[in-house]
Structure 1
Amino acid sequence: MSYEMIAIFMFATMMAMLLTGQRVFGAIGFVAVIAALALWGDRGGYDIAFSSAMKLMKWYPLLTLPMFIFMGYVLSESKIADDLYKMFHVWMGGLRGGLAIGTIGLMVLISAMNGLSVAGMAIGATIALPELLKRNYDKRMVTGVIQAGSSLGILVPPSVVLVLYAMIARQPVGQLWLAGVVPGLIMAAMFIIYIYIRCRLNPSLGPALTPEERAMPMGEKLALLRAGLLPLGIFAAMMVPFVNGWTSLVESSAIGAITAFLAAVLKGRMTREVFETSVRMTLGISCMFMWIILAALAFGAVFDGLGAVNAIKSLFTEQLGLDPWVILILMQLSFILMGTFLDDTAMLVIVAPLYVPLVKALGFDLIWYGVLYTITTQIAYMTPPFGYNLFLMRAMAPPEITLRDIYASILPFVMVMTAALALIMSFPEIALWLPGYVYGN
């Protein structure tokens, strides 16, 4: 059997195992180890898995993973996110669609606190959605807003998924995070512009709150503003030293975790239950990501040994004569297809051994491609009929919001995200300018 056929057989076996409901890391790691044993015998097969484990344990930036996850859960479980929404409610409620725009702002800040899109979805569905529906906002509008806003979770730093991409693609985490800042803010701005225009044209979609509903003494408003800006202060305390080169990435993550913990303590919200929940969730998610990275490294090592990347590059560029940009677009479309039944982490782990070396061989920047990956997978998450986020939203939404409403709600935002993706593909400097400026200095 040729090496190309072995690579195809590995992918087919892995996909079959995933379709049977096996855990992602179990399916990928199993296929990698069995293929290594079959190809190189007992010694070579065991060495691949062992060396991948050692490589994972020696990767110093991996220490950022539990730090940022802990920071996000402390801020979430201590209800500091509730203060954020109250701030947007009071200060932006008088604008048509103001609460929906404030929800996007909330999602940006939640992303900066947590780095997981699922966390943004959960907070938006539990905090913002009931308030928006109570204020007579259109149910299709608001469900689309929450799903679209949660997509910023893996783009705006500290993105946990970009840490995973950095490990697999062997790229600096700091540069990837900085590369996600401007595209993330641009996409958030595009969401806000869309909401504002829609609500100006059709005020019934997002009616402004009456002065009576927003009535509050100025002193209380300013106090609420200070409370709502607390997460910004935590984010600044973490990122400013890192951007200026005063601290390393791992040190900055520790600063963020400690600052979030102290903020919860000073506000009197660091109870035993909050601490225990935050630690347990941090441990669970960190271990999950470590197992996934370990499986991906083993799978990628087998692919490198097979030389499958060079064979596929030769197939596309020499035998089929495809332009590198056409190949890149086809790769992005494959994410849309996989997003109908896989989450963003699984998509990355499955295709990274093939796509990342192929992107590099085609002459594209891997930092820029990391941003494209995150945006494309979130589009895939929200694309009917089987987008992962659609069913997650249905599970969290009240009974009056049907699956049909959720499908209809997301289509305009998918179009906005596709426009943002096309913009960043056409102008790579949007993603590469900030990391180039910071690291160039």
Structure 2
Amino acid sequence: MLFGLSNPELGVVMLVLFIVFIMLGFPIAFTLMALGVGFGYWAMGDTVFSLVVQRTYSVMANDVLVSIPLFIFMGYIIERANILDRLFHSIQLALGNVPGSLAIATLATCAIFATATGIVGAVVTLMGLLAFPAMLRAGYDVRLSAGVVCAGGCLGILIPPSVMLILYGATAGVSVPKLYAGALFPGLLLATLYMLYVLIRCWRDPSLAPKLPKEQTDVPWTAVLWALATSFFPLTILIMSVLGAIFFGLATPTEAAAIGSLGSLILAAAYRSLSFTKVKESVILTARTSAMVCWLFVGSFIFSSIFAILGGHEPIKNLVTALNLSPTMFLIVAQLIIFVLGWPLEWTEIIVIFVPIFLPLLEFFKIDPLFFGILIALNIQTSFLSPPVAMAPFYLKGIAPPHVTINQIFSGVMPFLWIVLVAMVLVYVFPGIALWLPKYLYG
């Protein structure tokens, strides 16, 4: 007992303090460790320090997490090898006179690049430098252009090989290959809904996306096919090889990530875009990102372990069960909580801190953790798009021309937020969208 509080009540206090400290701007990983060790010392005494060592070692020795730096390295190499601008140009040529062709090409490029890297900031920044100015020069509506770049850039959180799904799998004890298989069709569904929205809106109101000049659309098919053959197909083949190796059990996620990293180096060399400087930059950025993720995971394991030892899950579980919710209502409430948490918190905190709170309740409501994870991956799209914190609009604002305001960007992303909700409803009503491929591949 501390301050007259029972251990479960102390667990809840620890959770509340974490949210308060994060709001005040304290470093996330070290806040998690400090709170875990502090409250753990009261509950366990000196034993808590042994727990810290064990949890740190278990994270560093986790084979699944080794794939994270490899996938990140693959993405950074592709980013720095100027492969993205080739891809965008070839898709733009292929679309020709399609209404909103530049916007649809942007979404298609984002969807493909999302399978090479799950780093939202990198995709939004790159497309903000490459596609956003091109759309503005062509006379596209500022809000539509901003929404397309921000929404498309967030697809990497959902479409495999997503780093978020690796973390969810490690946290929830769900097979990463199954998660990848489950997320593939929902990711493609969301990207398709984005493109259909842009196509229909630009068809109904051509002023939003004026037609491109003839010299940009009247291109011989031989030139289009050559552009696709030299940019679209090589990258697509690399990505499908990586995902196929995972889906069909030919390689573990870590082995497939290693193949992808090697393939990205070969592809960059083939384009004559590989240099020591670019490799060095990619290695440094990979080390920085991986260190952040790993220490965050260490902190979250310590925090969640102490939280469980204190019994902090019990008051929350008792509250939810006392509400007498149906499985459907529980899913709605859980997704609403995650949606609200996405305003002040990033997806990493949501996955490693708050998902473990929901996991014991999944068994009570007989909900498949894989299905729950796919809904979370869809939902977290909104945390990057919804004001006031919305990282994707701020990434774009940082590189946008001065006349583009943050309010215009926020206004542009709002329709895409509604599309995410539509996709979540479709996946819930038709769960086969997420569950058919894992069942087909793994039984």
Cα deviation code 1:252-274 (max 9, x no counterpart): 11111101111111221111111
- 1: CA distance, partners of 2:334 / 2:222: 54
TM-score (norm 1): 0.95
1:372 corresponds in structure 2 to 375
Residue 102 of structure 1 and its aligned partner are, at CA, apart by 1.0
Matches within 5 A, 1:4-43: 4-43=8-47
1:209 corresponds in structure 2 to 212
Residue 299 of structure 1 and its aligned partner are, at CA, apart by 1.5
Residue 238 of structure 1 is aligned with which of 223, 230, 242?
A: 242
Matches within 5 A, 1:18-167: 18-43=22-47, 45-167=48-170
Cα deviation code 1:197-227 (max 9, x no counterpart): 1011001111222322234454433221112
- 2: CA distance, partners of 1:35 / 1:348: 21
Q: Which runs of 5+ in 2 are unaligned?
A: none
Matches within 5 A, 1:19-418: 19-43=23-47, 45-229=48-232, 230-317=234-321, 319-418=322-421
Counterpart contact for 1:70–1:278, Cα < 8 Å = yes
Amino acid at match of 1:238: V
- 2: CA distance, partners of 1:188 / 1:300: 34
Larger relative contact order (Cα-Cα within 8 Å, sequence gap ≥ 6): 2
- 1: CA distance, partners of 2:186 / 2:230: 27
Residue 423 of structure 1 and its aligned partner are, at CA, apart by 1.4
Amino acid at match of 1:30: A
- 2: CA distance, partners of 1:328 / 1:4: 24
TM-score (norm 2): 0.95
Counterpart contact for 1:14–1:31, Cα < 8 Å = yes
Residue 125 of structure 1 and its aligned partner are, at CA, apart by 0.5
Amino acid at match of 1:303: F
Cα deviation code 1:386-426 (max 9, x no counterpart): 32323222222211211221121111111111110111122
Give the paired residue count: 438
- 1: CA distance, partners of 2:358 / 2:442: 26
- 2: CA distance, partners of 1:359 / 1:27: 28
Counterpart contact for 1:309–1:358, Cα < 8 Å = no
- 1: CA distance, partners of 2:241 / 2:31: 40
**What SS does structure 2 have at the residue aligned with 1:213?**
helix
- 1: CA distance, partners of 2:35 / 2:361: 21
Counterpart contact for 1:92–1:98, Cα < 8 Å = yes
- 2: CA distance, partners of 1:412 / 1:152: 15
Cα deviation code 1:60-86 (max 9, x no counterpart): 111111111011000000110111111
Counterpart contact for 1:332–1:373, Cα < 8 Å = yes
- 2: CA distance, partners of 1:298 / 1:104: 39
Cα deviation code 1:280-299 (max 9, x no counterpart): 11111111110111111111
- 2: CA distance, partners of 1:193 / 1:304: 45
Amino acid at match of 2:261: A
Counterpart contact for 1:169–1:366, Cα < 8 Å = yes
**What SS does structure 1 have at the residue aligned with 2:116?**
helix
Aligned-residue Cα RMSD (Å) equals 1.6
- 1: CA distance, partners of 2:191 / 2:44: 49
- 2: CA distance, partners of 1:118 / 1:178: 24
Cα deviation code 1:126-166 (max 9, x no counterpart): 11101111111111111001111112111001101111111
Counterpart contact for 1:94–1:210, Cα < 8 Å = no
